[in-house]
Amino acid sequence: MNNNSIDRKFCVAPMMGYTTPYARKLYRILSKKSFLFTEMIPTKTMIHSKKIKDFITNKNQNPIALQVGGSDLKDLKNCSKIAYELNYDEINLNVGCPSKAVQKGSFGACLMQNKILVRECLESMQINRNIQVSIKCRIGLGEKLNYDFFEEFIDEIIKSGIKIVYVHARNAILTGISPKANRTIPPLDYTFVKKIKSKYPSVTFILNGGIDSIEKALEIKSDFDGIMVGRLIQNNPFCLKNIDQLFYNTKEQYDINENTIHEYFDYIKPSIGKESIFRLMSPLLNIFFGIPNSKSFKTVIHNNMQKHKVDILEKIFLEFIKQNNFLMN
């Protein structure tokens, strides 16, 4: 795909433990246009792990970005080469994660304290014009909002030549609260992103943070070059079925039907025995989101997950779709 033609109006955020190859397959079944992300992969893991190919395999999931975490320039350059070879459209540097484990590895949000190093990281990643390099960051660090800090950070990283910036419009608090709390406690401030976007109109700025409904995404989308949504999709991936119509003005709507279930199970079956059954099945479990009287289905599914009876699980999901199709489309 020509990555210069990719439209990032709607992006599914990278989420550790959630945006697995299997989840991304389901997302792609439901939306052909949404821009997808892998989980964040540490550069050392990506280069040295023998099992990493299963995590970063890209089987017709474009448009898609591979997100990495690291600050070693040589490692980042090598990761860009791997991403290009695996046909990713973009490689993204994580400068937003506030976890202690990430800080120990000298990557994530703590890198915002060293904007020159971040610029050098982004420069090292630009190995081929056929794969875009981008960054995902916060608007600042600590408890106090400071637009000057954010502006100076963006001023520096833009010198690297990158043209795509994803911004979680909250500060990252590096001590005292959990990564989960960092998604809600620091206050949102979308005005920071609006203001920096007006300063750099040729740069694509994607807004992330606090977008808890498709209605809200539609309401604010005109103020930014794109919207990035995470937990909403984690909780209810099936809202993706309307995204291509709502954000890309296509005529297609990808209804949730028997073909959805068949295509998903065909994808995961080769991984049975290699991956945990929960990892394979978890993307589908939220099919019950908002559907009344689904408790009995959930009980039967969890029982059969424990027994690893995948063929029976497929039949259960198909029966659920058949009985509730009028509610889901």
pLDDT tens readout for residues 149-207: 999 999 999 999 999 999 999 999 998 889 889 998 899 999 999 999 999 999 999 99
Name the strand (E) or helix (H) holding 207.
strand 204-208
Residue ending a domain, among 248, 271, 290, is 248
Mean pLDDT over the full length of the chain: 91
CATH number for position 74: 3.20.20.70
Q: Is residue 144 domain-shared with residue 71, that is, in the same domain?
A: yes
Q: Residue 315's domain spans which residues?
A: 258-328
Question: Residue 61's closest CA among 36, 91, 30?
Answer: 36
Question: Residue 71's closest CA among 14, 110, 99?
Answer: 110
Under 8 Å CB-to-CB from 215, ≥6 apart: which residues? none
Number of neighbouring beta carbons within 10 Å of residue 80: 22
Q: Is residue 168 domain-shared with residue 300, that is, in the same domain?
A: no
Reply yes or no on whether 97 is catalytic: yes
What is the token pair recorded at 33?
A: 């246009």
Q: Is residue 312 domain-shared with residue 213, that is, in the same domain?
A: no
Cα 245 to Cα 242: distance, rounded to the nearest angstrom: 6
Q: Is residue 61 domain-shared with residue 166, that is, in the same domain?
A: yes
Cα 66 to Cα 61: distance, rounded to the nearest angstrom: 11
Percent of the chain whose pLDDT exceeds 90: 67
Given the residues 79, 97, 110, 239, the one annotated as active site? 97
240-259 per-position pLDDT tens digit: 999 999 999 998 777 788 99
Number of neighbouring beta carbons within 10 Å of residue 64: 25
Rg for the chain, CA atoms, rounded: 20
Residue ending a domain, among 195, 229, 248, is 248
Cα 236 to Cα 220: distance, rounded to the nearest angstrom: 20
Task: State yes or no: pLDDT of 1 exceeds 50.
Answer: no
Percent of the chain whose pLDDT exceeds 70: 97
Cα 310 to Cα 234: distance, rounded to the nearest angstrom: 22
Residue ending a domain, among 248, 273, 294, is 248
Task: State yes or no: pLDDT of 43 exceeds 60.
Answer: yes
What is the pTM assigned to this prediction? 0.94
Exposed / middle / buried, residue 212 (Cβ in 10 Å: 0-12, 13-18, 19+): exposed
Name the strand (E) or helix (H) holding 164.
strand 164-172
Task: State yes or no: pLDDT of 326 exceeds 50.
Answer: no
Number of domains in the chain: 2
Dihedral-angle region of residue 43 (phi above 0 means left; psi in -120 to 50 means alpha; beta otherwise)? alpha
Exposed / middle / buried, residue 307 (Cβ in 10 Å: 0-12, 13-18, 19+): exposed
Omega before 201 cis (within 30°)?
A: no
Q: Average pLDDT, stretch 14-21?
A: 93
What secondary structure, in 3-state letters, does 48-88 show?
HCCCCHHHHCCCCCCCEEEEEECCCHHHHHHHHHHHHHCCC
Name the strand (E) or helix (H) holding 150.
helix 147-158
Confidence category of residue 327, pLDDT binned at 50, 70, 90: low
Examine residue 253 and state whether it is found in any structural domain, yes or no.
no
Examine residue 60 and state whether it is found in any structural domain, yes or no.
yes
